[in-house]
Structure 1
Amino acid sequence: MLSLKRYANPDVKRAFANIVWLGLERVTQIAVAIVISGVLARYFGPDVFGKWQYANTLLLVLAPITWVCGAEILVPTIVNKPREELGTVLGSAFALRIGVSAAALLITWGGIAMGATDPLVGAMLAGLAVTMLFREPFVGVINAWLQSMTYSKPQLLASMSTAVVKALLVFLLARAAFAPASFGWLWALESAAIGAALVLYFRRQHGGKLGWHVDRALFKHFATAGTVFWLGLICMYLFLKLDRLMLERTISFADLGRYSAAQQLNENWITLALMLSQTIAPAFVYRVQQAAQLRRNLVRLFAMTAALMVAGALVLDALAGFIIGHVFGPDYAEAIGIFRWAVWLSLPAGIEAIGNLVVLKYQAKFVLLAKWLLALAVAFAVNLVAIPRLGAYGALVGLAGGYLAAACVNFYYIRFKLAS
């Protein structure tokens, strides 16, 4: 029987409070995503909405370029370094990220100027791409500091507030019949606002000063130590968006818009598993040194995640017709079946996310890279066969195959690592 003493443990209390805030933020983001998707889908129509979703897909393929020195490197470094070195750690990470992000933005704008995409897709992407300049250098660095303390409340509050404001602005711009390309700049404004809020919060917590400094040795360490992880994350996000990249070559933008409508809602749900794993990692995985305790924690986390994902998928499956019909309207009826199948991807995605924590804990960078290369290869091979035969449903089969391949690598590594 669990004792009251366990519930009084500061790490447990902090993690529980963090999960509560995480849940509130996810509910807010899901509600906002539903509102924004519905407004844009009805305003744009399936064809333009498909181009909007494809522009977002391109952004999410490009964004990992800015993830050099990701949280898997930065959070454990903050946890293990003395408190007085925090400014040097964050300053070195920021300098690296802002340089890479600026370069990625310029390259993206250059590609758009040279006509590498559909003109409307490129115009939408031009505004969306500005988010790269704020998300990782500002939001990402300070959020890593918050994650190291298992205290994400400031970031979650900023995210919830700006999401609501963004939804209101999307509605107003649609009512005013603004051009579709204008909407991308709202996402840039949102990322800038979150970054500014977190910088102000950090300064207030540190006597009104950032106190960030660049250390050449640490800068070089972040640039080199995270390279394999960085490549792994690029492969991961390419895997996650491979379905839309391959579908764009075989179906119309209107059909892509219907598929993306279902997947956008589903991805907000799946993100819950990823954020859940990030918020509990420091207390229940990263700081646990005994193999037996880590094994017990993992069993509980796997069970909790599986139960949560199954329960959520059952509800979303049952409400698929209601959600798609009321949010997107009759032009998106074909998305109902896609959504009903897509929500079940949350189960393998959640299990993979928990298993991935052990890979990150032991900094198994080559395992991470090999895992997502395998998932990408499996999804690509399955898509080549399944998409011509099953259309959009074939892309879901490819995602499922990739997630299962990644989860199998995690389980093999966990068994190997904990046994040794």
Structure 2
Amino acid sequence: MKMLSRAGNPDVARALANIVWLGLERLTQIAVAIAISGLLARYLGPDTFGKWQYANTLLLVIAPVTWVCGAEILVPTIVNRPPADTGRVLGSAFVLRMGVSVLALALTWTWIAAGLIDPTVGAMLAGLAVTLLFREPFIGVINAWLQSMTYSKPQLIASMLAAIVKAALVFALVRMAASASSFGWLLALEAAGIGAVLVLYYMRRHGGTLGWHVDRALFRHFASAGTVFWIGLIGMYLFLKLDRLMLAHRVSFAELGLYSAAQQLNENWIALALMLSQTIAPAFVYRVQDKAQLRRNVLRLFAMTAALMIAGAPVLDALAGFIIARVFGPNYAGAAEIFRWAVWLSVPAGIEAIGNLIVLKYQAKYVLLAKWLLALAVAFVVNLIAIPRFEGYGALIGLAAGYVAAASVNFYYIRFRLRA
């Protein structure tokens, strides 16, 4: 780390140090996610594991509802305002997010109580949904503050430690033969723990007090300016989970469990692209005003991300059978072939993530909305045609088509915005 601090450009030094910590955190999260998935897959069996994955999919579809005033609005606002305004910025965002999160949780519990979903799925989702109260109001708000400084280390350390503790508790619950619904409440406990640590860290950096206040003008700005971005992000997550939502109506939960096992591993691989884009955005995109320099930066980021994904996908393809067998056991052998095809989705996903940075930099909210609505519509149509014919492979085709549609919108906007 000392070598990084000696770099000539302080923004580069901070970004490089951040990448190191993000890499450590991502490796930890991947290792823990794989270990936990393997434990639960073997313990629950394909059918119940498929229900567990479906409950998580439903949570990830519901969660974007709490992303009002997301990082694409909050981080640039913090960066462009004096430090004295930070308490008002974060306080206004917190109140808005908490209000929406409480409403989302209440509606989710009402839906479960009405018996509109499978009872086992509902029991799992009931605990998982409590994470809504902690992820965006606490973790998300403070993480935006950390991102604005290109300094994610505190949040990453808290996440790593919480992940390790979570893995130990999952192992303990498996040994105790706990019910499937218990694991949902465990994830809620993890979110609460990370949120508490980050609040204490923020208070320590600000004289022992939180100092958050609601600014009515900022509150109204976040509620209105962020609405289009918010709807766009909801569209994005619907697109990312549409494969499992539509597949669940065509195959058994056991088959859904095989597909979800492959996709869970693949999503950890794709997260590398998101990790790169999140850590480099403030220093190499958001703070760069010269168009020529920005074009050069974006081209380099495209090349770096594409090279990483193209280099890694063949390795994972070749090792798919070994990885699936070691992680999930012999009952999940059918997931290996799906995983072989799924890893190649990392190439368009990574390219899309980098192109999206320009959309966020210029706050092109209608471009973001149009992009994800287009990707969602394309994936929906392709899934309608492909899933009945090819099942899980058809869902992968739908994802690929959606990523290509989203990346195409990014390229068009970049060409328009950064032209000489």
The alignment partner of 1:251 has SS state of coil
Q: Give yes or no for the alignment of 1:53 onto 2:53.
A: yes
Q: Which residue of 2 aligns with 1:151?
A: 151
Q: Tell me by how many angstroms 1:314 deviates.
A: 2.1
Q: Which residue of 2 aligns with 1:359?
A: 359
CA distances 1:103-129 after superposition (whole Å, capped 9, x unpaired) = 100000000000121000000000000
Q: Which residue of 1 aligns with 2:164?
A: 164
Q: Which residue of 2 aligns with 1:260?
A: 260
Q: Tell me by how many angstroms 1:5 deviates.
A: 12
Q: Which residue of 1 aligns with 2:241?
A: 241
Q: Which residue of 2 aligns with 1:122?
A: 122
Q: Tell me by how many angstroms 1:239 deviates.
A: 0.2
Q: Distance in 1 between matches of 2:213 and 2:235?
A: 31
User: Is the contact between residue 6 and residue 12 of structure 1 (CA under 8 Å) also seen in structure 2?
Assistant: no
Q: Distance in 2 between matches of 1:6 and 1:44?
A: 50
1:320-399 to structure 2, matched below 5 A, reads 320-399=320-399
Q: Which residue of 1 aligns with 2:278?
A: 278
Distance 1:211 1:307, change over 3 A: same
Q: Which residue of 1 aligns with 2:38?
A: 38
The alignment partner of 1:267 has SS state of helix
Q: Give yes or no for the alignment of 1:406 onto 2:396.
A: no
Q: Distance in 2 between matches of 1:215 and 1:141?
A: 15
The alignment partner of 2:418 has SS state of helix
| 1:33 partner letter | A
| 1:252 partner letter | S
| 2:134 partner letter | F
Q: Give yes or no for the alignment of 1:89 onto 2:71.
A: no
Q: Tell me by how many angstroms 1:6 deviates.
A: 10
1:18-33 to structure 2, matched below 5 A, reads 18-33=18-33
The structure 1 segments of at least 4 consecutive aligned residues displaced by more than 2 Å after TM superposition are 4-7
The alignment partner of 2:181 has SS state of helix
Q: Tell me by how many angstroms 1:319 deviates.
A: 1.3
Q: Tell me by how many angstroms 1:230 deviates.
A: 0.1
Q: Tell me by how many angstroms 1:269 deviates.
A: 1.3
Q: Distance in 1 between matches of 2:95 and 2:256?
A: 38
User: Is the contact between residue 6 and residue 13 of structure 2 (CA under 8 Å) also seen in structure 1?
Assistant: no
| 1:226 partner letter | G
Q: Tell me by how many angstroms 1:7 deviates.
A: 3.9
Distance 1:5 1:199, change over 3 A: closer
Q: Tell me by how many angstroms 1:391 deviates.
A: 1.0
User: Is the contact between residue 130 and residue 188 of structure 2 (CA under 8 Å) also seen in structure 1?
Assistant: yes
CA distances 1:246-281 after superposition (whole Å, capped 9, x unpaired) = 000000000000000010111111112112111110
Taking only aligned residues, the RMSD between alpha carbons, in angstroms, comes to 1.2
User: Is the contact between residue 288 and residue 294 of structure 1 (CA under 8 Å) also seen in structure 2?
Assistant: yes
Q: Which residue of 1 aligns with 2:310?
A: 310
CA distances 1:152-176 after superposition (whole Å, capped 9, x unpaired) = 0001101111001101111110111
| 1:370 partner letter | A
Q: Which residue of 2 aligns with 1:300?
A: 300
Distance 1:5 1:97, change over 3 A: closer
Structure 2 unaligned residues grouped into runs of 5+: none
The alignment partner of 1:419 has SS state of coil
CA distances 1:82-117 after superposition (whole Å, capped 9, x unpaired) = 110000000000010000001100000000000121
| 1:253 partner letter | F
Q: Tell me by how many angstroms 1:307 deviates.
A: 1.2
Distance 1:12 1:322, change over 3 A: same
Q: Distance in 1 between matches of 2:397 and 2:333?
A: 21
Name the TM-score, length of structure 2 as normaliser.
Answer: 0.98
Structure 1 unaligned residues grouped into runs of 5+: none
Q: Distance in 2 between matches of 1:116 and 1:413?
A: 42
Q: Which residue of 2 aligns with 1:69?
A: 69
Q: Distance in 2 between matches of 1:270 and 1:12?
A: 24
Q: Tell me by how many angstroms 1:55 deviates.
A: 0.2
The alignment partner of 2:398 has SS state of helix
Name the TM-score, length of structure 1 as normaliser.
Answer: 0.98
| 2:272 partner letter | L
CA distances 1:339-394 after superposition (whole Å, capped 9, x unpaired) = 01111111110100000000000000000000000000010011011111111000
User: Is the contact between residue 383 and residue 397 of structure 2 (CA under 8 Å) also seen in structure 1?
Assistant: yes
| 1:13 partner letter | A
